[in-house]
Amino acid sequence: MKPFLQEVAEDLVSRFGNQLANCAIVFNNKRPAAYLQKHFADIIKKPFFSPSFFTIQEFFACSTNYKIADFYLQFFTLHKIYNQLLVEEKLETISSHKFFPLAKIILSDFNQIDADLVDAEKLYRDLEDISVINQDFDYLSPEQYQFLSQFWTSYSEGKHKKQQELFIKMWRRMPKLYNKFHAVLKEQGYLTNGSVYRHLADDITSHQEFISNFDKGKIIFVGFNALSSAEAKIFSQLQETDKALFYFDADSYYLDDASQEAGLFLRKNLNLLGLRNEFSEKESLMKTGEHNVNVFKVQGQSAQAKILNNILEEDYTNAETVGKTVVVLADESLLIPTLQTIPTNYDGEAIDLNVTMGFALSTSSIFGLVDLWLTCQLEILQGNKVSYKNVEAFLTHPLTGLTQKMRDKILTALLEENQVEIEHTRLLRQSGFFEVFYKKIDNPQSVVTNLLEVLDFVLTRLSNAKTLKKIDAELFVKTIQELNRLHDTFNSHIGKEEIPFVIYLVQKSLQAIAVPLSGDPLNGIQVMGLLETRNLNFDKVVILGFNEGIIPKSSIGNSFIPDSIRRVYGLPVLENLDAISSYMVYRLMQRAKNINFVYNSLTDESTSGEASRILKQLEYESGFNFTYHELNLEVKTEEFKAVQIEKTGNAFIQETLQKYLDKKKILSPSALTQYIANPIDFFFNYIAGIKEPKEISAVVEANEIGSILHKVMEYFYEDLRSAEITEERIKERKNLVPQLIQKAFNAVMFNHADKVMEYKGMQKVILAIVDAYVNIILNQDITQTPFTIISLEQKVEAEISFSLNGKQESVKIFGYIDRVDVKDGITKIVDYKTGSDKLAFKDVDELFNSNGKHINKALIQTLLYTYAYEQSAGKTCVEPNLYIVKTMNDPINGGVWFKSNRQVLKGDFLEEIKPLFLARLKEKLAELFGAPYFNVSEIPDNYKYSIYKTLFGK
């Protein structure tokens, strides 16, 4: 079918011929101009003078000598006036950052009021009193009056709540704000877009100088649909003075049927306003043309883009379809998945692809660096420090240009120091890009200038290295242009603003930047948003994101003007969006042969999982040929396969295990308990050597709390161990506990026991927890006084021999015993625990059962310490004690002795257990070195907290 713009071009050439250059052609967006020019060239087939092309905003802006005020100029002007009005009312002024969200709504409302020629005085008048409504609105129809009554009923009955009173006060100040805002802007030589529309609509004929530019031709409006009141009035005046022609892209299918919402605005334009459509006699393409519709129901957001290769396959290979296929992204978040799906080459030939949608700066590494800079500046302003995570992000960012050697050096140093926050001065000392990036903002004006320095440094480095990509170059240019524009606007307005607020404004402004991707707008597959399709036609249309709530949208946006008042004054309401969306879809379809709707059937926070109501409507009434496809993602389950690591025949594993037998490596109690609980964990940790990467975190891990407690107890008893420990001596030294805790905290967290620092937040919580734990231990010790301490944090080693394949082998074990005491002639091993360890155990056999539920790691470790100590010190009857601080005071589960079936592990029972324990330990060692596989425990609880779970398939 012939495209709409081709028909327009043919009609204009036949009407104006060589006088076409005297015409102005006005569209509602920029995209159609290139298409219309091509059609002119195809028809005229020789050099010609082109008509002028405008968007509607550009065209109206030509009517005035005033400049158009950008959003930030409008915001600062509005804020200043708003505070002046608050002062007049003897109310407290509002800060910029609190006013900003209000300002966006107010300015949007003002713009709509002007564009729709609404009397702001009337609209914002206080309507609380129903009698005032009756007096001022006696001309309203009963339906309009009902809208007003519904809204104001809640304000007219009973006492006003505080929020309602505040709202009414703001409502009352709106007329003054509106008038003063426009007056101040005008004094400075600026107008808003809306006020340009209003001034032009007041009397278009009074702008003779503007209109006379087109006396020899016509002003031609192409493809308009929904018109604001100002546009409608201007169009009518231009038609009355015979200055304009109108080409509406309409189809009688929805134009002549009053129940069709797609034709709502066209019926208003043609029937109510009396605008003449130059194409009024065209046949209905919706009724006569062949339309094949494919509906694709898919599961998942990105899955919508992933079926493009099926839909577009013939477009990759068939040259006849070049320039006649469009992929419309109703949901613009699908741009990246779409670009990742459509290939650059197919069967060895390049695919022509043109993306008219802008590539957002916010998705680029440039914005990542800018956003990181803004975040770091906020941290520097707050405390002259930068968090480790942000320093790490800076070091690893691809645009910083740091060498791998330098990155590793700095990161290693910070990891060793465990610095959660890094001093600002330390970062500046690194010089180079560090000095530029971490330069502190001195005043609000420096936000933009300092950021420009950062971008200039990066851009210069990339240019010199010749590694600057085309898309990045365009993003840099656009970003620097926007920052320069902000600098000009901000200069006279932000002197007294808070720096964090200026940072927020810069961040918001840069988030809106986008640059067009390369491509030919006339050839190849076109990718665009729904609004960009206006006036354009394609033989094949693919719409992604065809979900309810997206087409049409489910919200008209924020406004202080309620729905009922909007209806009274003819301002846009939610139904307008339905009509606009329907029209854009219908006009795309009326000339298309192959139509494809794709929607996401999954329900989540962003989509309802329902197809657009427009699709339902078409299915019911259009008579098109519909074919339905459903993408079912089958979920296949496989039987779990046990993961085993084979030892036999694996030279690396055998060599590593042999090192333990040759005493080149020593086994720790924690290594043995890890093997007992889950043998495959032992392999990953001690054979393969796969370790968790060290990280810096403000959160203190559970094992670090244990380490701090151990240090405190070592410090506490270090000076007391020279003599017998008594209750009095413990109590005397208790007042030193807080400073000992701080010393231990610094030693464990920062490797610097004497570090002077200010504790805050979670650090204070950890200090308090350790303090409570220390007091629990000391109170327990008081009950055991008097006793003597033999050693603190003593390293012990011992050999354990066992039979392996008929030969005697042995391994060396080592460990650090927290404390060795002597009480009433009995030597005791004391082990501190801050976790959820248990004193109870079932029996010795179950201690070593990897597939059992009764492994007691704490008992295994303390018995190993007991064995090692007895071997190294030549003592017997050494008793293991366990101080579990969380349960030590519990009357039922408390105490310090292990228990089995109510038998306490001490005295004769302990001596019976020791040889059984050693025998089972030797059997387990023989299994470790002799079994053919490292297996996974059958009990998931045995590896519940394993860091290797993903490696063995659980």
The whole-number pLDDT of residue 4 equals: 93
Q: Is the pLDDT of residue 126 over 70?
A: no
Please compute the mean of the pLDDT values over residues 719-726 and round it to a whole number. Answer: 90
| Beta pairing partners, 879 | 828
Which residue in 826, 757, 749, 816 sits closest to 787, CA to CA? 826
Q: How far apart are the first and last CA of the chain?
A: 59
* pLDDT tens digit sequence for 658-704: 999 999 999 999 999 999 999 999 999 999 999 887 777 666 677 78
Which residue in 223, 285, 289, 178 sits closest to 8, CA to CA? 223
Residue type at 25 in one-letter notation: I
Q: What is the DSSP string of 249-288?
A: ---HHHHS-TT-GGGHHHHIIIIIS-PPBTTTT---HHHH
Q: Which two tokens stand for residue 107?
A: 């300015």
Q: Is the pLDDT of residue 18 over 60?
A: yes
Which residue in 702, 825, 716, 719 sits closest to 777, CA to CA? 716
The whole-number pLDDT of residue 933 equals: 92
| Beta pairing partners, 630 | 297
d(CA 950, CA 954): 6
Q: Is the pLDDT of residue 322 over 60?
A: no
Which residue in 194, 243, 227, 251 sits closest to 61, CA to CA? 194
Q: Is the peptide bond before 32 cis (omega within 30 degrees of 0)?
A: no
- 692 close to 415: Cβ distance less than 8 angstroms: no
Cβ within 8 Å of residue 569, ≥6 positions away: 116, 118, 123
Exposed / middle / buried, residue 824 (Cβ in 10 Å: 0-12, 13-18, 19+): exposed
Biggest CA-to-CA distance, the chain: 119
- 386 close to 421: Cβ distance less than 8 angstroms: yes
The whole-number pLDDT of residue 134 equals: 44
- 254 close to 59: Cβ distance less than 8 angstroms: no
Average model confidence (pLDDT) across the chain: 87
* 420: DSSP letter: S
Torsion of CA 166, 169, 175, 181, to 10 degrees: -60
C-alpha distances out from residue 943 to 252, 346, 366, Å? 70, 49, 43
Please compute the mean of the pLDDT values over residues 812-822 and round it to a whole number. Answer: 93
The whole-number pLDDT of residue 318 equals: 67
What secondary structure, in 3-state letters, does 429-442 show?
CCCCHHHHHCCCCC
Q: Is the pLDDT of residue 144 over 70?
A: no
Query: pLDDT category, 763, cuts 50, 70, 90?
Result: confident
Please compute the mean of the pLDDT values over residues 483-505 and round it to a whole number. Answer: 88
The whole-number pLDDT of residue 142 equals: 67
The whole-number pLDDT of residue 951 equals: 83
Give, in degrees to the nearest 5, the angle at Cα 254 between 251 and 260: 165
- Which backbone phi and psi does 949 adopt, to 5 degrees? -50, -40
Q: Is the pLDDT of residue 135 over 80?
A: no
Which residue in 28, 6, 116 sits closest to 580, CA to CA? 28
d(CA 562, CA 644): 67
Q: Is the pLDDT of residue 421 over 70?
A: yes
Query: pLDDT category, 740, cuts 50, 70, 90?
Result: very high
The whole-number pLDDT of residue 140 equals: 61
Lowest pLDDT segment from 111-115, 142-146, 159-163, 452-456: 159-163
| Beta pairing partners, 828 | 821, 879
- 545 close to 609: Cβ distance less than 8 angstroms: no
Query: pLDDT category, 848, cuts 50, 70, 90?
Result: very high
The whole-number pLDDT of residue 131 equals: 34
Q: Is the pLDDT of residue 920 over 80?
A: yes
556-570 burial, b at 16+ Cβ within 10 Å, e below that, comes to eeebebeebbbbbbe
Residue type at 720 in one-letter notation: L
C-alpha distances out from residue 568 to 143, 145, 271, 464, Å? 9, 8, 21, 62
The whole-number pLDDT of residue 816 equals: 93
Higher-pLDDT residue of 185, 893: 185
Q: Is the peptide bond before 786 cis (omega within 30 degrees of 0)?
A: yes
d(CA 357, CA 528): 5
Q: H or E segment at 230?
A: helix 229-240
Q: Is the pLDDT of residue 592 over 80?
A: yes
Which residue in 342, 311, 365, 367 sits closest to 519, CA to CA? 342
Q: 10 Å Cβ neighbour count for 186?
A: 15
d(CA 933, CA 672): 16
Which residue in 198, 201, 286 sits closest to 249, CA to CA? 286
Please compute the mean of the pLDDT values over residues 494-500 and round it to a whole number. Answer: 86
Q: What is the DSSP string of 606-669?
A: S--S-B-HHHHHHHHHT--EEEEEE--------------EE-TT-HHHHHHHHHHHTTSS-B-H
Which residue in 860, 266, 446, 110 sits closest to 852, CA to CA? 860
Residue type at 129 in one-letter notation: D
d(CA 863, CA 761): 39
Q: What sign for the dihedral angle of Cα 724, 726, 732, 736?
A: positive
- Which backbone phi and psi does 629 adopt, to 5 degrees? -130, 140
Q: Which two tokens stand for residue 674?
A: 């890890």
Give, in degrees to the nearest 5, the angle at Cα 245 between 241 and 246: 125
C-alpha distances out from residue 872 to 446, 795, 865, Å? 69, 10, 10
Higher-pLDDT residue of 603, 654: 654
Please compute the mean of the pLDDT values over residues 192-217 and round it to a whole number. Answer: 79
- 873 close to 695: Cβ distance less than 8 angstroms: no
The whole-number pLDDT of residue 399 equals: 92
Cβ within 8 Å of residue 1, ≥6 positions away: 285, 289, 537, 539, 591, 592, 593
The whole-number pLDDT of residue 892 equals: 74
Share of the chain above pLDDT 70, in %: 92
| Beta pairing partners, 804 | 807
Please compute the mean of the pLDDT values over residues 51-79 and round it to a whole number. Answer: 90
Q: 10 Å Cβ neighbour count for 189?
A: 10
Q: Which two tokens stand for residue 943?
A: 């590896």
- 521 close to 356: Cβ distance less than 8 angstroms: yes
- 418 close to 751: Cβ distance less than 8 angstroms: yes
Q: Is the pLDDT of residue 634 over 90?
A: no
The whole-number pLDDT of residue 333 equals: 86
Residue type at 727 in one-letter notation: E
d(CA 38, CA 335): 27
| Beta pairing partners, 794 | 817
Cβ within 8 Å of residue 119, ≥6 positions away: none
pTM equals: 0.77
* 808: DSSP letter: E
Distance of CA 897 to the CA centre of its chain: 52
Q: Please report how many Cα atoms fall inside a 13 Å half-sphere around the Cα of residue 852, on the Cβ side.
A: 14
Q: Is the pLDDT of residue 19 over 80?
A: yes
Q: What sign for the dihedral angle of Cα 859, 862, 864, 870?
A: negative
* pLDDT tens digit sequence for 281-295: 888 888 888 899 999
Please compute the mean of the pLDDT values over residues 4-33 and round it to a whole number. Answer: 92
Please compute the mean of the pLDDT values over residues 720-745 and round it to a whole number. Answer: 91
